[in-house]
Amino acid sequence: MKNNKLTYEKSGVNIKAADKFVKFISLVSNKSKNSGKFKNIGSFGSITKIPNTFKNPQIVSTTDGVGTKIEIANILKKFDTIGIDLVAMCVNDLIVQGAKPIIFLDYISINKIDLIKLKQIAKGIFKGCKISGCELVGGETAEMPGTYEKNKFDIAGFSIGLVDKNKILNKKISKNDLVLAIPSDGLHSNGYSLVRHIIKKKKINIIKDKYLKKELIRPTKIYTNEVLKITKKNLIKGCANITGGGISDNLKRILPKNTNAVINLKHIKCNKIFKWIKSQGITDNEMLKTFNCGVGFCLIAKKTKIKKIKKYFSKKFQPYVIGKITSGKNKIIFNEKINWNK
């Protein structure tokens, strides 16, 4: 006899599949060396002990996503790095304040539970947490049929860090300090709507294009280890995570009201992917306000500190001077032009 009873599962929500994913997350999380004595995964809320290494701890919190880079992951059917991006977008904002990332939570919303896909995403999140030195303590997975199209999903991240009150950055930036660029590892997780527009307009098959297939899914660089080390040594006065809005919008956010940052664009070292985007007919102005253009993170420091700062970075991510702090009215001034052929 046919069963015509209405159920939650018939409406498109599979609670059993969601429970299996929670168990997977819990098992992997418990293997982490950072796991504390509290059982957080699967609980109603996570409990975390505040480390006693902070004298006057201040809580810093961030939340972010990875934008339409998710669509690239869907096209390439590669989901094991998008979680690294998610962690990076949150923790790279935390360290701007001088905060050490402590915990991370994620939110995944999807049209239908796909355990293979979700486990790949989760593995990326675990890897991002391991790189940044924080712990995945909880999250939410929501199956939402009718809200998302077939195979579509979205992810969001939430992170909390701690910083001693007297170690908060961006308060002592002053005239004659230098602006250093730390190289990006590519696009990171910004500007993908424009990139996808180019791909669609030019009818590019990124599955067959070996270069774009690799480059467009490259995960965001996590700067936690290096930046926290130089912060601990009091080598920098401030820093900025260069995301959407480029150098101008992000660097301006940390400048004192009586200062400008004068940036010499010809000093910027662009990654190959930005040269490719530029070659598709994108103006310099559009490139600078949409992408990091090779500058993933900026540091503000005295000239006398630069040599020591460089010791904490690998050859690939060596900081270099691109500008100077001057008196002014909280503006970013660009001199010269980016050399796209360099």
Average pLDDT on 60-82 reads 97
Q: What is the DSSP secondary structure assignment for residue 37, as one 8-state letter?
A: S
**pLDDT (tens digit per residue) in 303-331:** 999 999 999 999 999 999 999 999 999 89
The CATH homologous superfamily to which domain 15-166 belongs is PurM-like, N-terminal domain (3.30.1330.10)
Closest-CA residue to 295 (of 331, 328, 258, 261): 261
**Strand 153-164 versus strand 178-183 pairing type:** unpaired
pLDDT tens digits for 117-143? 999 999 999 999 999 999 998 888 888
Q: Could you give the angle at the alpha carbon of 185 between the alpha carbons of 182 and 189, nearest 5°?
A: 105
Distance in angstroms (rounded) separating the CA atoms of residues 337 and 167: 36
Report the C-alpha gap between 206 and 101 in whole angstroms. Answer: 35
Angle, CA 194 vertex, CA 189 and CA 200 arms, to 5° = 120
Which of the listed CATH numbers 3.40.50.720, 3.30.2130.10, 3.90.650.10, 3.40.50.300 matches domain 178-186+221-335?
A: 3.90.650.10
DSSP letters, 171-195, are SS--TTPEEEEEEPSSSTTSSHHHH
Amino acid residing at 312: Y
Domain regions of the chain by residue span: 15-166, 178-186+221-335
Mean pLDDT confidence for 72-87? 97
Predicted confidence (pLDDT) per residue in 246-276, tens digit: 999 999 999 999 999 999 999 999 999 999 9
Nearest C-alpha neighbor of 322 from the set 300, 291, 341: 300
pLDDT at 225 over 90: yes
